[in-house]
């Protein structure tokens, strides 16, 4: 057997594999002998079938199968030994020209080669958001807590700030939805005016257009579909069934203990500090995800290299469930090109900086996850044997291993970007972050 590689350019090459009779004849003879021993052919006893008949019936199929096995093994071995970084898989070039009636065969394969490039993490500056909980957010959270743990005082008539329970009805849209909402959630002045002063048992007519500041509230309170919630413009009736004034809870030790455990928080200042800590911990996750997305986009935009586009389009056309037309394959390549570019960039970063996840890291990660889950249920000091046993069960599940590996891989990459990318920290409130980051 002989394999040679001819470079067409930096991104394309052709492999030529020459297979002679001596490469495959012994394997073919062995398979045919096994067929002779086991085949059932009418008129012959098992094991006594003439070899000529076996070759006539099975010879060509066995030859093709064994040569293809040798071919695939040779290709993989060559690519590995030569350390060729290829995209997709080798594509047969002269498959239709092979004459299986000869003794020697020559196969040609097109290769798409991965490009050579460098990754510059210190190039374009990327914003790293530090989201802070400002005084307005903290005060609103305190107000929400006081409302949540406050007392409801039943009333007969609606006043501003009350909570109303009632049923929205519309024959036109087949709406009949019982709900509870606060007058503070009514944005429309006319609708609010119609509700203020309404007594329990009375029915008021309201226009849905502009009733809520966010059209999604039509879905929440009226029960309409998401698509209908936007710009809903009908009249609905609302029967007032219950009116309550929520008396806010006092900020005292009893409330603090109920929220965080005995003596963990002892003042309003400590309450706000605790809320701030918890909120900013959650904000950090959103900030990290935004940072990861932005660094990825920046790397894709600023890391320049060519791809063997024509080869990849042919590969896409030939390797799917059904063969694609040239036009469809080109469209599919254009859809996937950005993802492929990032796969190459990420792969290079991980390889050059040894960011692959080890089994020990995976096991430690699963044990820490188990400890955190057990702590939620009051088990704060599990034994190492117990953790090892549970971790072993988790790591025996292929899907769990893939999920945990993805978590660790993402965390490693994020930490690497934080340490090595060119970042500019920007302190911002949550509301401004949402507007700026996702506008």
Same domain, yes or no: 39 and 106: yes
Same domain, yes or no: 287 and 426: yes
Q: Which residues contact 287 (CB under 8 A, 6 or more apart)?
A: 128, 129, 130, 131, 433
Nearest to 239 by CA among 151, 168, 181, 290: 168
Which DSSP string corresponds to 38-90?
H---TTS-TT---HHHHHHHHHHHHHHHHHHHHHHHHHHHHHHHTT--EEEEE
CB 157 within 8 A of CB 201: no
Residue 35 confidence (pLDDT): 82
Same domain, yes or no: 155 and 104: no
Please give the Cα distance from 3 to 17 (Å, whole number): 5
Of the three residues 112, 134, 165, the one that is the final residue of a domain is 112
Please give the Cα distance from 186 to 183 (Å, whole number): 5
Model confidence at 252: pLDDT above 90: yes
pLDDT band at 329 (very low <50, low <70, confident <90, very high): very high
Please give the Cα distance from 34 to 27 (Å, whole number): 11
Lowest mean pLDDT segment, chosen from 27-41, 137-151, 310-324:
27-41
Tens of pLDDT, residues 36-67: 887 777 767 776 778 888 888 888 999 999 99
Residue 222 confidence (pLDDT): 95
Please give the Cα distance from 297 to 341 (Å, whole number): 11
In a domain, 385, yes or no: yes
Residue 186 confidence (pLDDT): 95
Please give the Cα distance from 410 to 265 (Å, whole number): 35
Please give the Cα distance from 108 to 304 (Å, whole number): 31
Tokens standing for residue 45: 């006893």
Same domain, yes or no: 278 and 418: yes
Same domain, yes or no: 107 and 230: no
Model confidence at 113: pLDDT above 80: yes
Same domain, yes or no: 45 and 158: no
Nearest to 131 by CA among 435, 433, 415: 433
Nearest to 227 by CA among 170, 186, 173, 169: 173
Model confidence at 320: pLDDT above 90: no
Nearest to 284 by CA among 386, 430, 89: 430
Same domain, yes or no: 291 and 368: yes
**71 to each of 7, 95, 246, 415, 433, how far by Cα in Å?**
20, 12, 78, 43, 57
- State the average pLDDT over residues 294-321: 93
In a domain, 431, yes or no: yes
Residue 384 confidence (pLDDT): 87
Q: Which residue has the tokens 């990754």?
A: 119
H or E segment to which residue 24 belongs: helix 21-38
CB 417 within 8 A of CB 121: yes
Same domain, yes or no: 71 and 180: no
In a domain, 23, yes or no: yes
Tens of pLDDT, residues 128-140: 999 999 999 999 9
Percent of the chain whose pLDDT exceeds 70: 99
CB 175 within 8 A of CB 220: no
Nearest to 10 by CA among 260, 307, 359: 307
Tens of pLDDT, residues 375-418: 878 777 888 888 999 999 999 999 999 999 999 999 999 999 99
How many Cβ atoms sit within 10 Å of the Cβ of residue 235?
Answer: 11
Residue 25 confidence (pLDDT): 94
Tokens standing for residue 108: 């040609």
Residue 51 confidence (pLDDT): 83
Residue 245 confidence (pLDDT): 93
Residue 22 confidence (pLDDT): 95
- State the average pLDDT over residues 358-362: 92
In a domain, 344, yes or no: no
- State the average pLDDT over residues 220-233: 90
Residue 310 confidence (pLDDT): 95
Helix (H, G, I), strand (E, B) or coil at 152: strand
CATH number of the domain that residue 236 is part of:
3.10.50
Of the three residues 87, 112, 137, the one that is the final residue of a domain is 112
Residue 349 confidence (pLDDT): 96
Same domain, yes or no: 409 and 301: yes
In a domain, 65, yes or no: yes
Residue 187 confidence (pLDDT): 94
Q: What is the DSSP letter of 261?
A: S
CATH number of the domain that residue 41 is part of:
3.30.70.1050
Look up the domain containing 274 and give its range: 266-305+355-438
Same domain, yes or no: 232 and 282: no
Same domain, yes or no: 277 and 368: yes
- State the average pLDDT over residues 311-339: 92
Lowest mean pLDDT segment, chosen from 1-15, 27-41, 77-91, 140-154:
27-41
Same domain, yes or no: 35 and 96: yes
Of the three residues 91, 112, 133, the one that is the final residue of a domain is 112
In a domain, 327, yes or no: no
Residue 149 confidence (pLDDT): 93
- State the average pLDDT over residues 320-337: 91
- State the average pLDDT over residues 248-270: 93
Residue 242 confidence (pLDDT): 96
In a domain, 142, yes or no: no
Tens of pLDDT, residues 170-217: 999 999 999 999 999 999 999 999 999 999 999 999 999 999 999 889
Please give the Cα distance from 138 to 275 (Å, whole number): 7
In a domain, 427, yes or no: yes
How many domains, in total, are found in the chain? Answer: 3
pTM: 0.75
Model confidence at 103: pLDDT above 80: yes
Model confidence at 438: pLDDT above 90: no
């Amino acid at each position: 057997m002989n394999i040679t590689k001819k470079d067409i350019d930096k991104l394309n090459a052709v492999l030529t594999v020459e297979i002679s009779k001596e490469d495959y004849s012994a394997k073919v003879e062995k398979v045919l002998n096994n067929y002779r021993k086991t085949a059932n052919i009418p008129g012959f006893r098992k094991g006594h079938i003439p070899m000529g008949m076996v070759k006539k019936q099975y010879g060509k199929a066995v030859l093709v199968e064994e040569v293809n096995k040798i071919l695939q093994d040779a290709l993989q071995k060559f690519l590995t030994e030569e350390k060729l970084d290829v995209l997709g898989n080798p594509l047969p070039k002269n498959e239709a020209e092979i004459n299986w009636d000869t003794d020697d065969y020559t196969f040609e394969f097109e290769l798409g080669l991965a490009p050579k490039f460098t990754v510059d993490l210190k190039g374009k500056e990327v914003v790293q958001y530090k989201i802070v909980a400002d005084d307005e957010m903290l005060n609103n959270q305190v107000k929400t807590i006081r409302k949540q743990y406050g007392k409801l005082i039943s009333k007969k008539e609606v006043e501003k700030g009350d909570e109303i329970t009632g049923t929205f009805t519309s024959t036109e849209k087949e709406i009949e939805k019982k709900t509870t909402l606060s007058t503070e959630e009514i944005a429309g002045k006319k609708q609010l005016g119609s509700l203020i002063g309404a007594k329990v048992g009375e029915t008021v007519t309201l226009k849905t257009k502009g009733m809520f500041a966010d059209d999604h509230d039509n879905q929440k309170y009226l029960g309409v579909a998401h698509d209908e919630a936007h710009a809903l413009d009908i009249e609905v009736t609302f029967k007032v069934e219950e009116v309550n004034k929520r008396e806010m809870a006092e900020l005292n030790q009893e409330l603090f203990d109920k929220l965080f455990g005995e003596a963990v928080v002892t003042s309003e200042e400590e309450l706000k500090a605790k809320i701030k800590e918890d909120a900013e911990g959650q904000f950090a996750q959103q900030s990290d995800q935004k940072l990861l997305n932005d660094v990825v986009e920046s790397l894709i935009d600023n890391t320049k290299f060519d791809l063997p586009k024509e080869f990849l389009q042919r590969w896409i056309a030939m390797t799917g469930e059904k063969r694609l037309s040239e036009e469809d394959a080109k469209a599919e390549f254009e859809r996937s090109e950005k993802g492929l570019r990032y796969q190459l960039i990420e792969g290079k970063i991980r390889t050059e900086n040894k960011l692959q996840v080890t089994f020990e890291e995976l096991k430690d990660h699963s044990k820490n996850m188990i400890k955190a889950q057990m702590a939620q249920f009051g088990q704060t000091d599990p034994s190492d044997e117990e953790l090892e046993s549970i971790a072993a069960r988790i790591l025996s599940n292929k899907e769990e291993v893939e999920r945990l590996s993805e978590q660790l891989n993402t965390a490693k990459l994020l930490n690497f970007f934080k340490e090595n990318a060119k970042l500019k920290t920007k302190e911002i409130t949550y509301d401004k972050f949402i507007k700026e980051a996702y506008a």
